[in-house]
C-alpha cells in the first residue's frame, strides 16, 4: 500500500513530463510536416529558346514553397543569367515552382582579330568566343575591346555601335538583309548587303536619317528600281541606282 502511495507522485511527474514533451513536439512535428509537404519537388521551366540553360535553378530544389519570395528568386536568377530579358516566378502548390523566361535574341556580332562578341539589339553582350560560328551581321569597329574586360551580360556603351545596331534593324526591317558593318568613324557607318550599301552617321540626327532612308527606299520600291547605295549622312542624301 505504501509502495502504491509512493509511486503515485512519480506517475504524476512522469505524466506531466510526457504532456510537456508532447506539447513541445506538436509544433516541431507540424513544422516537419509542412516543410516536407511544401518542399519544392518539381521545377517547370518555360522558355522559347530550347537551347538556353538556366543557371542557379537547381539550388531552389527542396526549398519551402510556402515561404518562398518570388521576386527575390527572380532577382537571383537574373543575376545568374545576364542574358535573360524577362522572368516570371510562379508558385503552384503544394510543391511545384514555374519559371517562365525570355532571353535576349542574338542580333549582330562585333568581330575583332582574335575575339567575337555576340550582341543583342540594344548592345548587350550575350556571349563571346574566339571564333564566330553565327550567321549574323558582323560589325568591324575602329576601336578594340579587350576580350577579358568585357563580361557577358554587360552593355557596350559605344554610341557608334549602338547607332549601328539601330540602323541595321532599320535596313533589315525594310527588306534589305545586312551582311557586314564597317564603323570607320562616328561619321562613317557603312552597312553592306549582298548588292546594297547604306551609309549613316552617329553625329547627324538619327530620326532625320531614318526618315530620309525610308522615303528613298519606299519611292524606289514604288518605281520598281533597285538601290545600289543610299548615303544619308549629309543634308542632301546621295542615291545610286543598281545597274
Residues 11-33 pLDDT 10s: 556 565 556 555 565 665 555 55
Dig out the grid coordinates for 32 from the structure.
516537419
Which residues are 115's β-sheet partners? none
Query: Contact 233/212 with Cβ under 8 angstroms?
Result: no
Cα angle 144-103-92, degrees, rounded to a multiple of 5: 150
Q: What is the Cα–Cα distance from 75 to 68, expressed in whole angstroms?
A: 13
Q: Give the pLDDT band of residue 1 (cuts 50, 70, 90).
A: very low
Query: Is pLDDT of 219 > 80?
Result: yes
Confidence (pLDDT) at 34: 63
Q: What is the Cα–Cα distance from 123 to 110, expressed in whole angstroms?
A: 10
Q: What is the Cα–Cα distance from 75 to 84, expressed in whole angstroms?
A: 11
- 177: helix, strand or coil: coil
Q: What is the Cα–Cα distance from 239 to 243, expressed in whole angstroms?
A: 13
Q: Give the pLDDT band of residue 215 (cuts 50, 70, 90).
A: very high
Candidate from 61-65, 111-115, 147-151, 206-210 with smallest mean pLDDT: 61-65
Across 71-124, where does the E strand assignment appear?
A: 84-92, 96-103, 108-111, 116-119
Query: Is pLDDT of 35 > 80?
Result: no
Closest by Cα among 218, 220, 166, 214 to 189: 166
Please give the full DSSP string across 5-46, using - where no structure is assigned: HHHHHHHHHHHHHHHHHHHHHHHHHHHHHHHHHTB--EEEEE
Dig out the grid coordinates for 119 from the structure.
550582341
Confidence (pLDDT) at 10: 54
- 132: helix, strand or coil: coil
Confidence (pLDDT) at 133: 87
Confidence (pLDDT) at 58: 85
Q: What is the Cα–Cα distance from 164 to 156, expressed in whole angstroms?
A: 12
Confidence (pLDDT) at 15: 60
Closest by Cα among 49, 60, 57, 110 to 85: 49
Cα angle 127-128-133, degrees, rounded to a multiple of 5: 95
Sorted by where each starts, the structural domains of the chain and their CATH numbers stand as 42-103 (3.10.20.310), 108-241 (3.40.50)
Candidate from 10-19, 115-124, 134-143 with smallest mean pLDDT: 10-19
Q: What is the pTM of this model?
A: 0.78
Q: What is the Cα–Cα distance from 140 to 143, expressed in whole angstroms?
A: 9
Confidence (pLDDT) at 29: 55
Dig out the grid coordinates for 22 from the structure.
508532447
Amino acid at each position: 500500500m505504501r509502495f502504491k502511495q509512493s509511486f503515485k507522485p512519480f506517475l504524476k511527474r512522469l505524466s506531466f513530463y510526457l504532456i510537456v514533451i508532447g506539447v513541445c513536439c506538436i509544433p516541431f512535428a507540424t513544422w516537419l510536416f509542412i516543410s516536407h509537404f511544401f518542399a519544392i519537388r518539381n521545377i517547370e521551366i518555360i522558355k522559347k529558346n530550347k537551347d538556353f540553360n538556366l543557371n542557379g535553378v537547381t539550388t531552389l530544389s527542396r526549398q519551402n514553397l510556402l515561404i518562398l519570395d518570388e521576386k527575390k528568386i527572380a532577382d537571383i536568377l537574373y543575376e545568374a543569367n545576364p542574358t535573360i530579358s524577362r522572368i516570371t516566378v510562379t508558385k503552384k502548390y503544394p510543391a511545384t515552382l514555374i519559371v517562365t523566361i525570355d532571353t535576349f535574341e542574338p542580333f549582330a556580332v562585333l568581330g575583332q582579330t582574335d575575339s567575337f562578341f555576340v550582341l543583342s539589339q540594344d548592345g548587350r553582350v550575350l556571349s563571346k568566343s574566339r571564333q564566330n560560328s553565327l550567321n549574323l551581321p558582323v560589325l568591324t569597329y575602329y576601336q578594340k575591346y579587350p576580350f577579358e574586360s568585357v563580361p557577358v551580360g554587360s552593355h557596350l556603351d559605344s554610341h557608334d555601335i549602338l547607332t549601328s545596331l539601330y540602323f541595321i534593324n532599320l535596313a533589315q526591317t525594310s527588306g534589305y538583309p545586312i551582311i557586314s558593318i564597317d564603323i570607320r568613324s562616328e561619321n562613317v557607318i557603312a552597312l553592306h548587303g549582298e548588292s546594297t550599301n547604306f551609309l549613316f552617321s552617329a553625329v547627324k540626327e538619327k530620326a532625320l536619317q531614318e526618315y530620309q532612308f525610308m522615303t528613298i527606299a519606299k519611292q524606289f520600291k514604288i518605281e520598281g528600281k533597285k538601290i545600289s547605295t543610299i548615303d544619308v549622312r549629309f543634308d542632301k542624301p546621295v542615291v545610286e541606282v543598281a545597274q
